Structure 1
Amino acid sequence: MTSTSPVPDVGPSIKKVKSKTRAEKLQTLIVYVLLILFSLAFIVPFLWLISGSLKNSSELFSNPGIPKVFQWSNYKEAFTAFPFLLYLKNTLLILVVNIFGCFISNTLIAYGFARIKWKFRDAIFIIVLTTMLLPFQVTMVPLFLLFQKLGWIGTFLPLTVPAFFGNPFFIFLLRQFFLGIPYELSESARIDGANEFKIFWRIVLPLSKPAITTVIIFTFLNTWGDFIGPLIFLSNNKLYTLSLGVQQIMSVNDPRWPLLLAVGVSMTLPVLIIFFLMQKYFIQGIAMSGIKE
């Protein structure tokens, strides 16, 4: 006589799985809808910037939509309304020097705070962090007086030399990333006879590409769009940067808004391109810098 075991009722389990799947899909849909709505707050102004750069002055304020006739000549006229190539060269020169200075200074300082033990290290690091509380408007006048005493006003030195003395935020970002690198790698290198600089250059830096890329992106953004610094420290218009040169296509009585918007689009595109090319390293640098020591 064969006995048959009762077949379990899987109906309720299947219903639970289906309801859970539907809830997850609904939750994902809501998240995507909210993200799209929030992104419109940033996308719409940029689309209006592009649209306005392709209109004439009369249509700019009367037609908020797509231009009736695309005024591509606005870009050509904008680049000839002021010495664009000269100001671009000045901006790129300051940019390259600042990126190099930030890379050298911030990585070395952060390595000293993260990987080398010395007296009062943590106390001095806290002091460095507190300087982040001081906005540029507070230090602007003392810096101007200092650079004036040094005879640097009217040169690129006030805009480039400070990059070689470190940035508190970059130091903090890199230090947190360096702390996440296993100390066993450094100890193994020391056993093999490597000194501290070789450990820094050959082990720590290659493993810190995401954080270093993040620092480079922030340096690029700060330098590319800097207006206050060149306005204060540069007195010769032959040394102007792009952000200062934009003022020259505006007049008091008749602002040339389409040309201004065309230059705005041209200055925004490099930022977007660099971010999209390096966004993987940028996100990794920000996320992994939060690793606890």
Structure 2
Amino acid sequence: MSASLQQLPRPSRPGRESETVAVTVPHRSRWRRNIARPRTLAGRVVLAVLLIGFGLLFLYPFAWLVAASLKPRGEVFDNSLIPKTFTPGNYAQVWNELPLLSWMGNSIGIALLAATAVALSSSVVAFGFAYFRFPGRGLLFGLVLATMMLPGAVTMIPIYLIWKQTGLLGTWVPLWGMNLFGSAFYIFLQRQFYLGLPRELFEAARLDGASYWGLFWRIAMPLSIPSFIIVFLFEFQASWNNLQAALIYLNAGSVEDFTAPLGIAYAMTKYSPTAGGHGDYQYVMVASLIVTLPMLILFAFGQRYFIEGVATQGRKG
């Protein structure tokens, strides 16, 4: 970052003449703009081609899904992005074929509970690691991060046995109850954000008689809304797409009790010719597209906080 020297007058003291002091004033950094905008025309053309190419590459699966949802049964897997026979009636018929509203309602309820629980619990633990200074804090935080090294397959059976002993198998609780104890990854993200907050704010509040919970709820939380929202979005998306947990813990007695991922897996089996179905996979494509829309809407409304949270946490240390 470039800087310049400016001559600033120093306030004069009684009996002394005013002095002039040279101070360093940093200029506005321009390296980000230089990286984002190449100076030459050829560089701009190459950058535009790369962006368009990668954008089309990532949009292709979604475009294929949209096209497949508008095709009749015999043309679903012809890999054409333009249907030979448009069948918009699939979007009306899918509600009669599958209990899609029940599946989405179950997924929304579980995802909201899971995201809210992990965002709040992780924020509390992260604030404790960021604010309190006690012997062994670094070691304890390292142990928390070490839990991320454990593969999910290692803890799957013990966690299942715990929930079995509680008698809560077949309910929503195992799908979101574990989030009440926080997540090591989210604790790390939130702690990095809290470390960037001025400690003087909390010290002034303590002098005014604020409790430790007041420091967290009235100062830390309002200032950490971007990071809180990004944790909420991450967990909502993870819970929404969690097929494995629904298969293990839900054990639903009826099809209406399925979550959206479990319901789509059921639909794939239902329409499979090997299972006695007729290969009506166009309904599976429609259901998959409809299930994807809440994630797109959620990100569209939260992208400002998403970008702000990532950028802010990236420069905290």
Partner amino acid for 1:92?
I
Residue 130 (structure 1) shift = 1.1
Q: Is the 8 A contact 1:106 1:174 kept in 2?
A: yes
**Matched residue, 2:67:** 51
Contact 1:82–1:248 (CA<8 Å) still a contact in 2? no
Question: Which structure carries more relative contact order (alpha carbon 8 Å, separation 6+)?
Answer: 1
Residues 90 and 239 of structure 1 are in contact (CA less than 8 Å); yes or no, is this contact kept in structure 2? yes
Aligned to 2:168: 152
* Cα distance, 1:119 vs structure 2: 2.5
Q: Map 1:1-293; keep pairs closer than 5 Å.
A: 23-62=39-78, 64-236=80-252, 237=254, 238-250=256-268, 251=270, 252-253=272-273, 254-293=278-317
Secondary structure of the 1:96 match is helix
Superposed CA offset, 1:178-230 (max 9, x none) = 11111111112122221211111111111111101100110110111110000
- Partner AA of 1:256 in structure 2: D
1:60–1:258 contact (8 Å) kept in structure 2: yes
How big is the shift at 1:63? 5.8
CA distance in 1, matches of 2:237, 2:162: 26
Q: Amino acid of the residue matched to residue 125 of structure 2?
A: I
Aligned-residue offset at 1:22: 8.4
2:90 and 2:64 map into 1 onto residues whose CA distance is: 15
User: Which amino acid letter does the alignment assign opposite residue 203 of structure 2?
Assistant: E
Counterpart of 2:8 in structure 1 is none
Q: Deviations over 1:27-84 (max 9, x none)?
A: 2332222122112221011011101100012122336131233212212222222222
RMSD value, Cα: 1.8
8 A contact 2:70–2:86 mirrored in 1: yes
What SS class does the counterpart of residue 62 from structure 1 fall into?
coil
Are the equivalent residues in 1 in contact too, given 2:175–2:245 (CA < 8 A)? Answer: yes
Distance of aligned partners of 1:67 and 1:169 in 2 relative to their CA distance in 1, 3 Å threshold: same
Q: Aligned in 2, Cα 1:32/1:150: closer, same or farther, shift over 3 Å?
A: same
1:108 is displaced (CA, Å) by: 0.3
For structure 1, the residue ranges without an aligned partner over 5 or more in a row are: 1-20
Is contact 1:249-1:256 (8 Å) kept? no
**Partner in structure 2 of residue 13 of structure 1:** none
Q: In structure 2, give the amino acid aligned to 1:190.
A: R
Relative to structure 1, the CA distance from residue 135 to residue 79 in structure 2 (aligned partners, 3 Å threshold; closer, same or farther) is farther
- Indicate if the aligned counterparts of 1:147 and 1:153 stay in contact, CA closer than 8 A: yes
Q: CA separation of 1:25/1:209 partners in 2, compared to 1, >3 Å: closer, same or farther?
A: farther
Q: In structure 2, give the amino acid aligned to 1:213.
A: I
- 8 Å Cα contact 1:94-1:156 kept in structure 2: yes
TM-score where L is the length of structure 1:
0.87
* Percentage identity across paired residues of the two chains: 38
Q: Distance in 2 between matches of 1:131 and 1:28?
A: 44
Specify which structure has the higher proportion of helix: 1
- Contact 1:179-1:291 within 8 A present in 2 as well: no
Q: Distance in 2 between matches of 1:108 and 1:81?
A: 45
Distance, in Å, in 1 between the alignment partners of 2:304 and 2:110 is: 26
With over 3 angstroms needed to count, the CA separation of the structure-2 counterparts of 1:240 and 1:189, relative to structure 1, is same
C-alpha spacing 1:198/1:25, structure 2 compared with 1 (3 Å) = farther
Q: TM-score, normalised by structure 2?
A: 0.81
- Give me the whole-angstrom Cα distance separating, in 2, the residues matched to 1:50 and 1:137: 35
Moved more, 140-149 or 25-34: 25-34
Aligned length: 273
